[in-house]
Structures are given as structure tokens and as C-alpha cells.
Structure 1
Amino acid sequence: MNSSAGMTFAPHVISVEVGEVAADHHHGSGVDPVAVNGGGTATHVATAATMAARRGFRRRAEVALLVLRELSLVCAVMAFSFILTAKQSGVVSVYGFQLSVSSKWSNSSAFQYLAVMSAIAAAYSLLQLLITGSRLLKNALVIPSRRQDWLILATDQIFAYAMVSAGSAASGITNLNRTGINHTALPNFCKALPSFCDHIAVSIAFAFFSFVLFAASSLQIVTWLSSSQVLNFPTNPLTKV
């Protein structure tokens, strides 16, 4: 009977000892398995939330850049279209003599400069629009590297300065056409050629709008360069941010 009792109680003793050893092991290491599992889940959720917020911030910034590209394309095309159709014939009076005059955008180097820059700016805006749109559709980074970021920033600034330069040069000639020259018989050509002057004025206005849009896109890219929330963040939510 004693032997039978010994056989009966031995497994319980062993079970208790194993449980105590396991408990002592966790107690000695200072690690709570429940806490470990809960902490890992909390870290995963927090990291996933951070990545989702970054992904949303990136997508909004890229969509904003896409809108800027569309607007800059429209403005450049409008500037080119209006100056290309700027031509008219009329009659002016000089010292009492009625003279037939005609004017066309190609007669002035300033207007030619505005037409050329508007065409180039439109082509550049179209290229950037296609690149940005295709990468957005593929859910890829619009600007995948900082080197490309700097390159696009420099190009946008060049076009911004070129458009404001072309608009300023053309506006000087247009102002002369509207006011004439004081103390001379040079008339106000815009009275005889109103359609021509209006087309040039609208083209200049769109050129200045293009400058504003290129400057805005440059500012957007500067924001990207100074922020780590858009470029080169890990796609794995378990990766350390």
C-alpha cells in the first residue's frame, strides 16, 4: 500500500517541480510571456498605424503635385495658343496720314521668346504629368530617390524663371504698344490692333500663372526633401521606422 501510494504521488511531485522550475525561470528572467505577447501586438498595431499615416501623407502630396502638373500644362498651352494667334491688321494715323499696319507675334523677338518658352514648358509639364500619373496608378513613389528630387527641383526652378522672364519681356513691348511714346508721333497701336494686344496680354497672364505653378511645385519638392514622411520609408509594417 505504501508502495502504491508512492507510485500515486510521485507524478504530482514531478509535475509541481516542473511547474515551479518554469515559473522560477520566467520570474528570474523578468519576462512575462503574456506581457511579451501583448507588447508585440501593441508595437505591431502602432507601427502599422504610423505606416498608414505616412502612406496617406505621401499619397496626398503626390496627388497635389499631379494637380500642379495639370495646371502648369494648361497655363503653358494657353500662353502658347494665345500668342500664336496674335495677329491683326488695321489703320493708324500719323501726322494726319492714314497708314495701314499689321502686327504678328513673330515680328517681335520678345514675343518669339514667350512663344518658344511656353511651348517648351508645355512639353515639360506634359512629360512630368505622364510620369507622375503612371507612377500613381502603379502605387509607386512618384519620386523614388533624392537625386531625382533635386533634379526635378532644379528643372522646375529653371522653367519658373524662364516663364517670368519671357512674360516680363513681352509685357514691356505690349505696354509700349498701348501707350506709344511721349512727344513723338508714334501712335497707340492697340487702338488700331485691339485683338492683337488682347491676345498678347492674355498670353502674358498665363505665362505669369505658369511661373506661380512652377514655383509651387518647387516648394512642394523642397518640402519633400526636408521631410522623411514621403520618401524612402519601409513598406513592411514590422520594419523599424
Structure 2
Amino acid sequence: MGSLGNGRNGSEPGIQMPVMGGNAVLEPTTSSVPRCPRLEMAMVATRVAALVMALLSMLLMISAKQRGILIIFGIEIPLYANWSLSDSLEFLVGISAAAAAYSLAQLLSIAHKALKKVPVVPSRRYAWMLLAADQVFAYAMMSAGSAAAAVANLNRTGIRHTALPNFCKPLPRFCDFSAASIVCAFIGCVFLATSALIDVIWLSNL
């Protein structure tokens, strides 16, 4: 067995190729994954935005509590509104917390890779996993926001052709905080969907 060099005078380093039976056999090499600084910055930005929106959605909904008095036909009825009294609003809080935890975990992973100076997306398999997870959380945020929006709209408009009134008049703080939380959830869904789009671009470059 011998080796061949690609240097002109034999002293320069070259690619070593083992020769077996007079035939050169190239040893397999692992190609490095290309780094895309712009895509990495875009990924960080969208995940930071998704984290902020998910946290705001959760915190605003948790803060949606208020007591008030409803007057119907001259009768005063005490009211108490709390996000935990509605399954749809609890669902939004839970999904927002999960999306915030997911976004934070991805940011920590990116920071760890940056310190080790390795690609943020090391392989196609990893990119596919990111794409699937981003889509799951984007759809979950959309679903939770839609469910909460139905409850918030009912509180604001009441039920037509019944005596059920607009609860947002005696409970304006609760309704405003709920509405702001739902808006943040939908915005967070947009940023998660944008992250999924960035994952697709990564896949096309790998």
C-alpha cells in the first residue's frame, strides 16, 4: 500500500489516497454544512419575536381579572371575570406558555451552537424537525387564539334576541386584556410561520 500526493515536487501536502492493487481508492470525506449568516440572524429575530409575543399573550391573559356590577331591569348583579373560568382562555394560556418554552429552547440551542462555532442547522434532518415543530406551534397558537376570540366576541356583543348583555361594559379591563392577549397570540403565530418559512429556505440550501 502506498500514497499519492498532489504536490508538484512531492514536498507539498496533498490528498492522501491509499493504493490497493494498483488502483487508487478515495476515502469518503464528510462535507461541511454551509453557514448562512443572514438566515441565522433572521432565525434568531423571528424566534425572539415569537417568544416575546407568546409571553405577552400568556401574561396579559393571566392578568385578565376584574369585578364589576351588572344592572338588569334595575337589579344589580355582581360579576367576577377570570380567565381560569373559561376553557378556551385556559387553552390559550397553556399553548402560549408551551410556545414560549419552545422558542426559548430554540434560542438557547442557537446560542450554544454559536459559542461552539458550528452551523445553526447542522443537517437536513434537523431542518425537517424544526420545520415540523414550527408548524405545529404555529397552528396551535392559531387554534388557541381563534377559540379565545370566540369567547371574547361573545362577552363583547352578548347573545342576540336574549337578555344576555354586553359584559364588557361593566368589565372593561377584563375584555381589553383578553383582546390584547388574543392579538399577541395571532402575531406570535405569524412569527412562528415565518420561522417555518426560514426552515424551508435552509432545506433548499443544504
Query: Structure 1 length normalisation: TM-score?
Result: 0.70
| Structure 2 counterpart of 1:146 | 124
Which 5+ residue runs of structure 1 have no aligned equivalent? 1-32, 34-53, 229-241
**AA at the equivalent of 1:178:** R
Structure 1 stretches of 4+ with a deviation exceeding 6 A read none
Which 5+ residue runs of structure 2 have no aligned equivalent? 1-7, 9-33
| Structure 2 counterpart of 1:124 | 102
Tell me the CA shift for residue 98 of structure 1.
1.1
Aligned to 2:168, what secondary structure does the other structure show? helix
2:142 pairs, out of 164, 182, 186, with 164
- Conservation of the 8 A alpha-carbon contact between 1:95 and 1:185: no
| Structure 1 counterpart of 2:154 | 176
| Structure 2 counterpart of 1:100 | 78
Q: Which moved more, 1:180-189 or 1:210-219?
A: 180-189
CA distance in 2, matches of 1:90, 1:147: 54
CA distance in 2, matches of 1:211, 1:86: 21
Alignment pair present for 1:84 and 2:62: yes
Tell me the CA shift for residue 154 of structure 1.
0.3
* Alpha-carbon displacement from aligned partner over 1:87-113 (angstroms, at most 9, x marks no partner): 000011223311010010000000000
| Structure 2 counterpart of 1:238 | none
Q: How much is the aligned-residue C-alpha RMSD, in angstroms?
A: 1.3
- Conservation of the 8 A alpha-carbon contact between 1:75 and 1:207: yes
| Structure 2 counterpart of 1:68 | 46
> After superposition, where does 1:1-20 map in structure 2 within 5 Å?
none
Q: Which has the higher helix share?
A: 1
CA distance in 1, matches of 2:119, 2:135: 22
Aligned to 2:80, what secondary structure does the other structure show? strand
Tell me the CA shift for residue 69 of structure 1.
1.0
Q: Which moved more, 1:136-145 or 1:158-167?
A: 136-145
| Structure 2 counterpart of 1:208 | 186
Q: How many residues align?
A: 174
- Conservation of the 8 A alpha-carbon contact between 1:79 and 1:202: yes
- Conservation of the 8 A alpha-carbon contact between 1:180 and 1:186: yes
